[in-house]
């Protein structure tokens, strides 16, 4: 497919697009995003609002100056290792009304950049406000308006801007996200037999580098553990993914982190790196990474600490840079 006009696969609006197997779309509602159309599409999600929610995340990426890459299956687009499936993208969608409101304010902040500037969100307003339909849009818009977070221009009802209260909320959200991301390292790994010492070693390495280790097995939740995984990755400064045992959840969590643009440090026990059977061997697209290969767990802490400090830095140094 050459450059042409078509319909947006996410929201149905007219778009310009270029490409054949990997198509780049530019939509007035969803922004610019990429969709890998090779290999067939069969999303596993049964959410009735899957595509509107995916469209909202595409718009969020666009407002941040990034481009969302969407694939039918993890790892099927080699040129985009951080591409996400629709199911993974759904995990990025706000889970509560208050979170939708906060994320909308962040969209306003990204779109306007400076106080007092108006932004027109007539086209793609549903995506901008994380609304599945017009009813949800009106509700969320009115909540922000009545709460004093946004203003509507009297001479032009299509234009909106953040109030002083809205800018303060954007500042608070941004600083809290920076604080959390500066201090946490998420560990994704198998919890099978014989991995307790490896878990302790990874924990020790992250801690020695100055970060708070987050291992999902050590945390307590009142809700779905999957929600805890997604929240933990989103809050983390980086992810350590130990591929020992070839667990699908570890591949998922590492891919999800890369899709968010977070650094991922890969580790693997040697027998799982060089296993003879495909089921025992690390996937080819990960084997070419700079993997920390270990045989005895007691060698892991120092090597992991060194890798974190040399590629990411210690949190106190990052905090100093962020405060300047």
Which pLDDT does position 275 carry in this prediction? Answer: 61
In eight-state DSSP terms, residue 84 is B
Hey, what are 213's tokens?
């280790």
Q: pTM for the complete prediction?
A: 0.64
d(Cα 21, Cα 19) in Å, to the nearest integer? 6
State which H helix or E strand residue 23 sits in. strand 22-27
Contacts of 51 (CB under 8 A, 6+ apart): 9, 10, 11, 86
CA distance 202 to 211: 12
Which residue carries 């009735």 as its tokens?
48
Report how far Cα 269 is from the mean position of its chain's Cα atoms: 27
Which residues are within 8 A (CB) of 209 and not within 5 positions of it... i.e. 6 or more apart? 185, 304, 305, 308, 309, 312, 314
Which among 24-28, 112-116, 158-162, 168-172 has the top mean pLDDT?
168-172
Q: What percent of the chain has pLDDT over 90?
A: 37
Average pLDDT of span 310-314: 91
pLDDT score, position 260 = 84
Of all helices (H) and strands (E), which one includes residue 15?
strand 14-18
Rounded CA separation 133/123 (Å): 13
Which pLDDT band holds residue 223 (cuts at 50, 70, 90)?
very low
Q: Which range has the worst mean pLDDT, 114-123, 213-222, 264-273?
A: 213-222
pLDDT value at position 35? 86
What is the rounded distance in angstroms from the CA atom of residue 303 to the CA atom of residue 18? Answer: 45
Q: How many CB atoms lie within 10 A of CB 191?
A: 14
Separation CA 106–CA 61 (nearest Å): 11
Q: How do residues 82-120 score in pLDDT, each as one tens digit?
A: 688 888 888 889 989 999 999 999 999 998 889 999 988
DSSP 89-115: HHTTS-SSHHHHHHHHHHHHHHHH-ST
What's the chain's Rg over C-alpha atoms? 21
pLDDT in tens, 108-153: 999 888 999 998 876 778 999 999 999 999 999 999 999 999 998 8
How far apart, in whole angstroms, are the C-alpha atoms of residue 282 and residue 274? 8
Round to whole Å and give the CA distance between 292 and 161. 48
Strands 184-188 and 212-215: parallel
Cα–Cα distance for residue pair 178/176, rounded to 1 Å: 5
């Amino acid at each position: 497919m050459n450059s042409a006009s078509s319909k947006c696969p996410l929201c149905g609006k007219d778009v310009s697009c270029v490409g054949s197997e990997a198509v780049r779309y530019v939509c007035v509602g969803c922004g610019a995003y990429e969709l890998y159309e090779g290999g067939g599409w069969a999303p596993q999600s049964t959410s009735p609002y899957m595509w509107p929610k995916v469209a909202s995340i595409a718009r969020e990426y666009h407002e941040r100056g990034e481009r969302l890459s969407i694939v039918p299956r993890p790892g099927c687009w080699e040129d985009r290792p951080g591409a996400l499936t629709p199911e993974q993208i759904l995990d990025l969608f706000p889970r509560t009304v208050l979170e939708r409101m906060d994320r909308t304010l962040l969209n306003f902040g990204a779109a306007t950049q400076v106080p007092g500037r108006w932004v027109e969100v007539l086209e793609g307003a549903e995506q901008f406000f994380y609304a599945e339909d017009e009813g949800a849009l009106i509700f969320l818009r009115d909540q922000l308006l009545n709460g004093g977070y946004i203003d509507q221009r009297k001479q032009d009802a299509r234009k909106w801007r953040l109030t002083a209260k809205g800018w303060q909320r954007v500042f608070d959200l941004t600083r809290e996200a920076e604080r959390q991301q500066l201090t946490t390292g998420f560990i994704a790994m198998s919890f099978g037999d014989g991995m307790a010492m490896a878990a302790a070693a990874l924990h020790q390495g992250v801690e020695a580098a100055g970060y708070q280790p987050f291992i999902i097995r050590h945390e307590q939740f009142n809700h779905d553990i999957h929600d805890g995984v997604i929240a933990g990755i989103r809050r983390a400064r980086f992810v350590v993914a130990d591929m020992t045992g070839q667990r699908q959840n570890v591949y998922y969590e590492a891919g999800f982190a890369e899709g968010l643009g977070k650094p991922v440090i890969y580790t693997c026990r040697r027998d799982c790196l060089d296993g003879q059977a495909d089921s025992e061997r690390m996937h080819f697209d990960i084997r070419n990474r700079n993997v920390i290969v270990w045989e005895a767990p007691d060698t892991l802490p120092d090597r992991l600490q060194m890798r974190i400090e040399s590629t990411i830095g210690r949190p106190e140094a990052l905090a100093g840079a962020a405060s300047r």
